[in-house]
Structures are given as structure tokens and as C-alpha cells.
Structure 1
Amino acid sequence: MAEIVGVVERLWRYPVKSTAGERLSEVGVDERGLAGDRLYAVRDGEGRLGSGKNTRRFRRMDGLLRLGSRLGHPLHGPELLDPLGRAVSDPSAFLRAYLQRPDVELAREDTVPHLDQLPVSLLTTATLDWVREAVPTALVDERRFRPNILLRTPPGTRPFVEDDWFGREGELRSGLRLAFVRASERCVMTTVAQPGLPYAPEILRAVAKAHDNRLDALATVSAPGVLRVGARLRLL
């Protein structure tokens, strides 16, 4: 029997990877994830993508989280917002000056996927509240963890309840189905300063100690549909 495990409280899309996201009330979802999510990234001359970390695919570019992005029509590209929230007229030129890197550009996804891991990330309020209690000296909200979905769970729900969902599917009334697979392994991005949130290394330390550095539920999309704030998620 299906069980209602929570209600969608907030939706987030990140049109430009590693910049601040935009809050939505409704968005379509297909096998790639939320429409327009991480569709663009800051790419350097070697083809590596701007991020908060260095890997074979990503290059650390400090300052990206102080920028914002929002998506109008996907064919027209995103708006890039400067640290004061103002749209810039030439994103690539702005990024070169802002990052002091002459080889970067704002690039649409092509053969190299922009997603770090799986298409959709969900975080429960039960887990987020645990972080607040574990690190009372830090300013904590979901922007630290960059979920697509913040799910309001019933009172008394235990933290890290997302772990119980791995290997199961969740369904919304629109027909959207999410197959929960695993949690994200957290990195320095959770600690980085961004508008309204100062640098907070203690958050990553707390998550690492209590939960093996993992937090949220990552999912693939089993059936496309629409995500709406206020929608109930049923666990199948």
C-alpha cells in the first residue's frame, strides 16, 4: 500500500551549474531531471566545468555561488546574475572578468553531462532540522545542500529517513515517478559562503561524523510528469 511521506515545500532549479538557484512553483521533469536544471555551466578551455571542487571533469572556480541564474525560454539561454542580483548583458565576458580566467565561457550541455550524479535530489525537512540542531552556531538552510526538492515530512519523522527509500519509488499525482537510488556524498560546497550564508566548515564535519558524509536522496526519473509545490509524495 502506498504511503504519503511528505509534501513538496520548495522547488529549486540551478540553470547554471554551481551558481545559486531559482525557486519555482511548478516545473516539468523528464529523464534528464527538472527542465533546464544545470543545462548550462561555466566551461574552461580544457572542457572542465566550473564547480566547488577539482576532479577530472570539474575545475574549482571560487565565487560562482555568489552569482545567481534564472531561466526564461531554454532556447534563449539563462540570465546570469551578478552578486547584487543584477542580470549581466554578456555572461561569458562577465565571467572572464569576474573569475579572472580568460578561457571560460557560459556553455550549454553537449556530450559532457553537467550533473554531478543523478538527475533529481530530494532533501527532507527532518534531515535539514537535524543539521540545524547538530550545528547550532551555523546558519543552515537547504541552499547549502542544493536540492531540487525540499520535502516537508510529518512531525516526528527521524532524520536521514531518506535512507529508507533507496530501492523504492515515489509517485506524485501528476504521474511523475522517482526511483530513489542513494545519497549524495557531500563536499566543500556545503561550507562555501553565499548570499545570506557565511562560510561554515562545521556543517560538513557534522555530516561526515554522523552519517558518513552523505545527505539527501538521489533519484532517477521512472516516469515523466510535473512537480508542484504542495504536491504529496507517495512511497510505493
Structure 2
Amino acid sequence: MQIAEIRRYPVKSMLGEVLSAAEVDARGIVGDRWWAVRDPDGKLGSGKNTRRFRRMPGLFDLRAYAAERAPIVELPDGRRFPADDPAGHRAVGEVLARTVTLTPEGHVAHHDEGPVSLITTAALRRLGELTGAGPDGTSIDPQRFRANLLIDLPGRGFPEENWPGDLLRVGPEVVLRPVRRLTRCAMIDMAQGHAAERNDLRKALAEHHDLAFGVFASVEQRGRITVGDTCSWA
């Protein structure tokens, strides 16, 4: 069991970065979802409507990269702006066809459910079977689930769902505590990056797995993680 991918999303609900290594603190992957798009009502830009979030089509056309002062946001036409640049706010608003600002996290965390989200290659293979795509899971891009960590595991199934309550050591320093399953929304079927739009993933999870895929974890011990690090039970 080892880390296959590390992903960070410097601005919530925009496309993010694939990393070779990352620092982990009590909040999660450092810089992950630290900024968000906010509308005049104070709701955060998302792919869904809830009490906290507002669906803003077009967010997946934008990409964010971590930077020292504020993330850099890349528009579909290739222009880039720091997330704290008012001119960038206006440009993002033009893409989204609404008035928005980009703001760092305040008293309420930007994460949907918890600090670090995890999925496994075993679960991707099982979902491939459930959608009729075959057992290898290669037809399902892991970026659809916007997880921080993809853990490489043999076989197929949903083994991560047995993890809550245990302590997972990731590499030589970091210890995570899986908390509970992640309930999935329509975002997993939306086109994002090089992953085309689908209409079967959420349906398959609803029919066979209570809409759940992956787990989130809290951070028990901070440190540095690297792709290829071994994961074991602490």
C-alpha cells in the first residue's frame, strides 16, 4: 500500500495541481482549498447548491496553482492573475458570468467534510466494474473525485471504508485518522480537465454503494509526504 498520487486544489472547486510531494499540517495538505470564489451573498463557488455553496458553472474551466502570497489563477485564454488581484476577480467573474471575489479561508473551513480526502485504486477498479467499463478502472480518471491522496492497493472493492477508527501512517512522518465515508454529488460526472462529461458514475454509486466513494481523514501527526511513500497502520 503506497501513495500513487498527491493532489492539491489551491482554490476550491477550480482545477488543481498534481504534486510529487507535499507538506501536511493539522488543516491537511498545505495550501489545499485555502482560497475560494465567493459571491455577494457570501456563498462559496462549487459544483453544487447547499446552505454554504453555490453552483457556479465554469469553475472547472479555471485552474489554480499555489504561490507564496496567493494562488495563481489561470483563465481558459491563458491569462494568469494572483487570487488577491481585483483585476483577476473581475476576469474570473466574466468567465462565471457573475460578480465574485476570491478570498482566503476565515473562521469556517473551505473543506466540504474534512482535512484530507483519500481514494484507492481498488475502489476505482470496483467502480469500473459497476459501470461496465471492466475491472481495471483505467476508464475512470481519479481527478473526478478531487481527492488529496490516491492510495495504490491490489484487488478491487472498497477497502478504505474499513479504515475509520484506525491510524494510517503515510510515509515516515505523517499519521492520519480516517473518519468516515465521503458522500458524492453530481460533480464526479462533470467534465473537468481532460476528463469528459459522464452520466453513470453517481448513478452506479447510488444503486450499489449508498452514493459513497472514498473517505476523509483528520491529521494526527504532521510532516512531509511523497509519491511512492508506503502507507501502513500505526
Work out the CA distance in 1 between the residues paired with 2:146 and 2:222: 21
Work out the CA distance in 2 between the residues paired with 1:38 and 1:185: 18
The answer to whether the Cα contact below 8 Å between 1:122 and 1:218 also exists between their aligned partners in 2 is: yes
Give the letter aligned to residue 101 of structure 1: R
Equivalent residues in 2 for 1:1-236 (5 A)?
6-73=1-68, 76-83=69-76, 86-88=79-81, 90-102=87-99, 104-136=100-132, 139-154=139-154, 156=155, 158-236=156-234
What secondary structure, in the 3-state scheme, does the structure 1 residue paired with 2:217 have? strand
What secondary structure, in the 3-state scheme, does the structure 2 residue paired with 1:112 have? coil
What secondary structure, in the 3-state scheme, does the structure 2 residue paired with 1:215 have? strand
**Gapped runs of 5+ residues in structure 2?**
none
1:15 and 1:167, CA in 2 relative to 1: closer, same or farther beyond 3 A?
same
Identity of aligned residues (%): 39
How far apart are 1:210 and its partner, in Å? 1.3
* Count of matched residue positions in the alignment of Structure 1 and Structure 2: 226
Work out the CA distance in 2 between the residues paired with 1:12 and 1:45: 29
Work out the CA distance in 1 between the residues paired with 2:102 and 2:139: 30
What secondary structure, in the 3-state scheme, does the structure 1 residue paired with 2:14 have? coil
Work out the CA distance in 2 between the residues paired with 1:148 and 1:91: 26
How far apart are 1:86 and its partner, in Å? 4.6
The answer to whether the Cα contact below 8 Å between 1:139 and 1:197 also exists between their aligned partners in 2 is: no
Work out the CA distance in 1 between the residues paired with 2:178 and 2:113: 13
Over aligned residues, Cα RMSD in angstroms? 1.6
Work out the CA distance in 2 between the residues paired with 1:143 and 1:13: 11
Work out the CA distance in 2 between the residues paired with 1:220 and 1:80: 28
Work out the CA distance in 1 between the residues paired with 2:196 and 2:113: 26
How far apart are 1:194 and its partner, in Å? 1.6
> How does the TM-score come out when normalised to structure 1?
0.91
How far apart are 1:85 and its partner, in Å? 5.1
How far apart are 1:78 and its partner, in Å? 0.5
Instruction: Judge which range, 82-91 or 59-68, deviates more.
Output: 82-91
1:233 and 1:68, CA in 2 relative to 1: closer, same or farther beyond 3 A?
same
**Gapped runs of 5+ residues in structure 1?**
1-5
